Amino acid sequence: MSLHRSSNGPPPAKPLVALLDGRDCTIEMPLLKDVATVAFCDASSTSEIHGKVLEEAVGALMWHTISLTREDLQKFKSLKIIVRIGSGYDNIDIKAAGELGIAVCNVPGFGVEESADTTLCHILTLYRRTYWLANSLQMGKRINGPEHLKEVANGSARIRRDTLGIVGLGKPLMILFKMTKLLIGLSICRSLVHLST
């Protein structure tokens, strides 16, 4: 027996996938356009989610700005999977999701390099006052020689041979650890944290 769809009938409807707490679907839409309809909700709670999404969405993508409790999950009538965009899933009642037959996934590698880069930028900003120097230049302040630079950069410090303390060593911090050792010569003091459940 072969299954063959009649060419006279309408094409099958694509399943609905919703980005719950965002409105930028520029990454998701091109990837899913052939297999699903992607909608955005830009919601901070399930009370802000359109009824059509609650009734028809089979998949939900979410960041960290919305939480899904058992009561929230029960509002979704067709939901089969939730993908938490990021490494955690503490904003989802995963026990309730499992009991309701909803799979929960996360993306542990999402934003790892960006987190490490941003952390390093903050460290450099605090040591070398790059933010304040850039603002001075944007506001039209001219630096005329080393003495004037010393005045404008007051409070900046050398980094080399200083020590950076890292608590925990997840993926972003592991990249930061390698970058600081290679690029700027910081000594690293690290501590692994183990949380009991």
Interval 168-184: pLDDT, tens: 767 777 788 777 776 66
Name which CATH class applies to 16-106.
alpha beta
Q: Do domains 16-106 and 112-191 have the same CATH topology?
A: yes
Would you say residue 7 has pLDDT above 70? no
Would you say residue 10 has pLDDT above 70? no
For residues 22 and 88, give the distance between their C-alpha atoms in angstroms, rounded to a whole number: 17
Residue 166 pairs with which residues in a beta bridge? 190
Structure tokens at 105: 């996934």
Would you say residue 41 has pLDDT above 80? yes
Q: Is the pLDDT higher at 133 or at 56?
A: 56
Would you say residue 17 has pLDDT above 90? yes
Enumerate the domain spans of the chain.
16-106, 112-191
Measured over the CA atoms of residue 172, residue 176, residue 182 and residue 188, the dihedral's sign is: negative
Would you say residue 106 has pLDDT above 50? yes
pTM above 0.85, yes or no: no
CATH superfamily of domain region 112-191: NAD(P)-binding Rossmann-like Domain (3.40.50.720)
Mean pLDDT, residues 129-137: 87
pLDDT at residue 108, as a whole number: 81
For residues 92 and 113, give the distance between their C-alpha atoms in angstroms, rounded to a whole number: 25
